[in-house]
Amino acid sequence: MRVLGIETSCDETGVAIFDSEHGLLGDALFSQVEMHAEFGGVVPELASRDHVRKLLPLVSEVFAQAGLPRGQIDGVAYTAGPGLIGALLVGASTARSLAMAWGVPAIGVHHMEGHLLAPMLEDNPPTFPFLALLVSGGHTQLVRVDGIGRYRLMGESLDDAAGEAFDKTAKMLGLGYPGGPRVAALAEQGVAGRFTFPRPMTNRPGLDFSFSGLKTSVLNTVTDHQQQGVLEPQTQADICWAFQDAVVDTLVIKCKRALQEARLKRLVIAGGVSANKALRERLEAALRPMQGEVFYARPRFCTDNGAMIAYAGCQRLLAGERQDLQVQVRPRWPLSELTPPSAG
């Protein structure tokens, strides 16, 4: 089965074609980062308009990459939520229109299910069951995964997501947008031990996260140094190192705890923050004594992309799931509300 995937949940327009027998046939992505950078964050109306401009040219591009005539597919998958309502509507209405014109089914995909299944696109995919750490700008969740649509939430952030904390730390330091990758890059120049930040909620039972206190601790440190004069580049790097170390340490502690509780040895990390080099290395080192394995997607599939949506949609269509023609998007959509694929 060949499925066209469309991702427009936020500030990246992603389109891909996935073949259930031959894998990824075409993949194209346009990032709006440069456009939103001058505003210090995503402007929803600008994001929606840019999706309108870029989406159909990207569809043509992936069909050319795949060497297929336009419309020679078996289904269309699109991100139905969560995300920015206007951006979601652009992708959903385009996907439904194309599916109707080509006479194939269309299916709405949960954005985080796409991220969760992105490592399945790799040469060494995980097998069910496994524990997933979904870690991005909007989500930090620990989920037990027993199959497609069979998810049990074990823990989540009670306030800021880890990626959001990265972005806010970057803003405090004046590093610009997008902040997460800039904090990670600057952390590589930092010196260990100069600053120490808290590991929130690791000294108590449970699998939930909280990063607001860590963010406040960073803010207080930045403010103290600003009051003493100029915030020197090395001080910025040292703060980034200490902040990243605290986030990574917290995530590692909770992942180990969750794996032991679930009696699992396979861990999938997904979402934008899963591209963080320090997080990958620390998780692999932590799971080695447990004979555990860590799975993740290549960096380009950690951030929003059409390939993960095409894959997730393909799995549900293969299982016989069908949806009516109504365009439905959900800006808020708990992953726990998903169910296994069912014929419709």
**What whole-number distance in Å separates Cα of residue 304 and Cα of residue 289?**
32
As given in the structure block, the two tokens for residue 284 are 């692999």
The owner of tokens 């004594």 is: 289
CA pair distance 202, 137, nearest whole angstrom: 21
Alpha helices (H) in the chain, listed in sequence order: 33-37, 44-66, 85-102, 111-117, 162-172, 179-187, 212-227, 233-262, 277-287, 306-318
Q: 140: which strand partners?
A: 135
Q: What CA–CA distance (Å, rounded) separates 133 from 138?
A: 13
Alpha-carbon span 119 to 306, nearest angstrom: 14
Q: Which DSSP string do the residues of 151-166 spell out, in sequence order?
A: EEEEEEBSSS-HHHHH
Q: Is 134 annotated as a binding residue?
A: yes
Residue 264 marked ligand-binding: no
According to the annotation, is 208 in a ligand binding site?
A: no
Burial class from Cβ neighbours inside 10 Å (0-12, 13-18, 19+) for residue 267 reads buried
* 138 annotated as ligand-binding: yes
95 contacts 15 by C-beta, under 8 angstroms: no
Q: Is 135 annotated as a binding residue?
A: yes
294, 275, 301, 288: which is closest to 135 by C-alpha? 275
Place of tokens 């006479």: 103
**287 annotated as belonging to a binding site for a ligand:** no
Residue 203, annotated ligand binder? Answer: no
First to last CA, the chain: 18
Q: Is 163 annotated as a binding residue?
A: no
- Ligand-binding annotation for 11, yes or no, is no
Burial 136-152 (b: 16+ CB within 10 A, else e): bbbbbbbbbbeebbebe
Could you tell me which residues are annotated as the binding site for Fe cation?
111, 115, 304
Could you tell me which residues are annotated as the binding site for substrate?
134-138, 167, 180, 276
Could you tell me which residues are annotated as the binding site?
111, 115, 134-138, 167, 180, 276, 304
